[in-house]
């Protein structure tokens, strides 16, 4: 969208102001903005107007881009406009593939007849939202560790929204959210609230300690991530990016993927036609050449 668009401006906001919002969101977050998303944008910013005591989006835009105020407000702005849809065991075939194929292929070299070598496995959940995906992965990896002596693991989970990261760090979820979690895993890894008037569960401390949550913007030139990972889950994030942005982000992520490591993307995300440092194995699974 640009200033010449024929789309009516939002109440209290000129077409130029509307275009500035859209261009800023695309430039800072890589999210493609279309006219159809504008009512959603307006709706999500209403709470910030109330908190700040502002009367219009035009006033809010001046506040957001005020150098003296904007740095703090940008965090709230990103929290308001980003979409965070996730579930436990979403797209379950990926978790099966991780255990049955990827981990077997990544197994450290063994000396015949010797005990299994220690294995310090690292996984990056990029775009972790409110935590359901990284906690699913900790359950899956904990189950794997029960059958593989010497296996230990650690997860990095990143998102741009401080709001969802705070939720994820707490590890507390409404019971209605845990439907996809098998009963055996619920009893092993979830704690029910002692207050039975609150239908909530919490991830056990042993799993919460396996994850480091950090804020990260995929549009940053450098991610500041120093660790190398054997697997990266980057699922259902790129649907908001255009093709050039997808390509750039994957290249940056793969800097931290070991040779032979795996990249998982969302089943609805097509990377066809992109120049990537990984090869497609099918089922939205990619592998970096060894």
Percent of the chain having pLDDT more than 70? 92
Catalytic residue among 48, 122, 159, 208: 159
Domain-located, residue 9: no
Q: Are residues 109 and 68 part of one domain?
A: no
Q: Please report, for the domain that includes residue 113, its CATH number.
A: 3.40.50.150
Please report whether residue 1 resides in a domain.
no
> Is 87 within a domain?
no
> What total number of domains does the chain contain?
2
> Among this protein's residues, is 215 annotated catalytic?
no
Q: Are residues 133 and 253 in the same domain?
A: yes
Instruction: Assign residue 73 the CATH number of its domain.
Output: 1.10.155.10
Chain segment 174-219, per-residue pLDDT in tens = 999 999 999 999 999 999 887 777 889 999 999 999 999 999 999 8
201 and 98 inside one domain: yes
Contacts 24+ apart (CB under 8 A), 68-75: 73/48, 74/28, 75/162
In a domain, residue 125? The reply is yes
Residue 174 sits in the same domain as residue 253: yes
Question: Has residue 8 been placed in a domain?
Answer: no
Same-domain status, 62 and 180: no
User: 22 lies in which domain range?
Assistant: 15-81
Does 198 lie in the same domain as 58?
no
**Same domain assignment for residues 72 and 141:** no
Q: Within its chain, how far is the Cα of 57 from the centroid? A: 28
Q: Does residue 66 share a domain with residue 121? A: no
Residue 114 has pLDDT above 60, yes or no: yes
44 has catalytic annotation: yes
**Which of 81, 111, 133 is the endpoint of a domain?**
81
Same domain (yes/no): 48, 146: no
Of the three residues 81, 104, 124, the one that is the final residue of a domain is 81
Residue 3 has pLDDT above 50, yes or no: no
pLDDT at 37 over 60: yes
Same domain, 270 and 134: yes
Catalytic residue among 15, 44, 163, 287: 44
What is the average pLDDT across 255-282?
A: 93
The pLDDT of residue 204 is 97
What pLDDT digit, counting tens, does each position of 151-161 carry? Answer: 999 999 999 88
Please say if the pLDDT value at position 254 is more than 50: yes
For residue 5, is it within any domain?
Answer: no
What was the pLDDT predicted at 5?
A: 38
**Predicted pLDDT at 1:** 32
At residue 41 the predicted structure's pLDDT band, cuts being 50, 70 and 90, is confident
Confidence of residue 19 (pLDDT cuts 50, 70, 90): confident
Q: Last residue of some domain: 60, 81, 102?
A: 81
Query: What is the rounded CA–CA span in Å between residue 290 and residue 279?
Result: 11
Quick one: 160 and 30 in the same domain?
Answer: no
For residue 133, tell me if it sits in a domain: yes
Percent of the chain with pLDDT over 90: 55
Most confident of 15-19, 23-27, 201-205: 201-205
Residues 56 and 143 in one domain: no
């Amino acid at each position: 969208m640009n200033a010449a668009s024929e789309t009516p401006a939002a109440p209290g906001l000129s077409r130029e102001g509307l275009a500035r919002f859209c261009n800023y969101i695309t430039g800072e977050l890589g999210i493609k903005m279309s006219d159809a998303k504008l009512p959603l944008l307006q709706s999500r910013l209403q709470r910030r107007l109330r908190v700040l005591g502002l009367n219009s989006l035009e006033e809010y835009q001046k506040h957001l881009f005020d150098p003296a105020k904007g740095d703090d407000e940008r965090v709230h702005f990103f929290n308001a406009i980003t979409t965070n849809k996730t579930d436990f065991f979403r797209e379950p075939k990926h978790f099966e593939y991780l255990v049955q194929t990827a981990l077997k292929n990544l197994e450290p070299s063994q000396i015949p007849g010797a005990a299994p070598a220690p294995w310090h496995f690292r996984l990056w959940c990029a775009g972790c939202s409110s935590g359901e995906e990284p906690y699913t992965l900790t359950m899956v990896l904990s189950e794997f560790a029960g059958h593989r002596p010497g296996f230990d693991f650690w997860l990095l989970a990143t998102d741009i929204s401080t709001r969802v990261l705070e939720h994820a760090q707490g590890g507390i979820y409404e019971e209605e959210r845990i439907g996809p979690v098998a009963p055996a895993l619920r009893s092993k890894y979830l704690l029910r609230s002692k207050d039975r008037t609150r239908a909530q569960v919490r991830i056990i401390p042993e799993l919460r300690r396996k994850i480091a949550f950090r804020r990260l913007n995929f549009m940053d030139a450098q991610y500041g991530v120093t660790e190398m990972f054997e697997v990266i889950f980057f699922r259902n994030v790129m649907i908001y990016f255009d093709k050039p942005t997808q390509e750039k982000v994957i290249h940056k992520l793969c800097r931290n993927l070991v040779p032979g490591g795996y990249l998982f993307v969302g089943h609805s995300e097509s990377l066809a036609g992109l120049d990537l440092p990984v090869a497609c194995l099918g089922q939205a699974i990619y592998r970096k050449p060894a």
